[in-house]
Amino acid sequence: MTTDISTYRLNHTMYRIKDSKASLKFYTEVIGMQLLEEHHFAEAGFSVYFLGFNDPALKDIPRMARQGIIELMHTHGTEDKELFAYNTGNGETGGYGHVAITVDRLQAACDRFESLGVQFVKRPEDGPIKSIAFIADPDGYHIEVSENPMLK
């Protein structure tokens, strides 16, 4: 039996989240993703949510055949623990960095994020790299935002 590595794809990355309602609202209403699937495992005490961008060409494509998906994993009850937080890898010790999205117009997207009260980690005008921004989701995971040159 053999396998063809040219068929391998990055399907999804997973974030552990504190509050599923806050995270789902952020990823759907702020970032513009849509909920593709959700699974609840009451006996195990957790739920998972799979989100991807709304591409009409992918409407009938199964989740496991898509790319660029974020899985949110929520352990039930964490939303009620005031001081609870996951290590996002973005603190002093480093580790995990970020995911990145592309937008049609960076400044317009940043203006929209600002109007929605999104936390900025880096605005385009900050630092030497003016072509990117970084925002944070409700758990503090960083999201790089840059312009897609094909949409200009």
Catalytic residues, which ones? 144
Neighbour tally for 89: CB within 10 Å? 14
Q: 136, exposed or middle or buried, with CB in 10 Å at 0-12, 13-18, 19+?
A: middle
Distance set, CA 16 to CA 4, 13, 53, 125 (Å):
32, 10, 20, 31
Distance set, CA 46 to CA 62, 78, 86 (Å):
23, 10, 15
Pick the closest to residue 140 from 14, 42, 16, 5 (CA basis): 16
Query: Is 144 annotated among the ligand-binding residues?
Result: yes
Spatial separation of the C-alpha atoms in residues 21 and 107, rounded to whole Å: 28
Binding-site members are: 71, 98, 144
Binding-site members for Zn(2+) are: 71, 98, 144
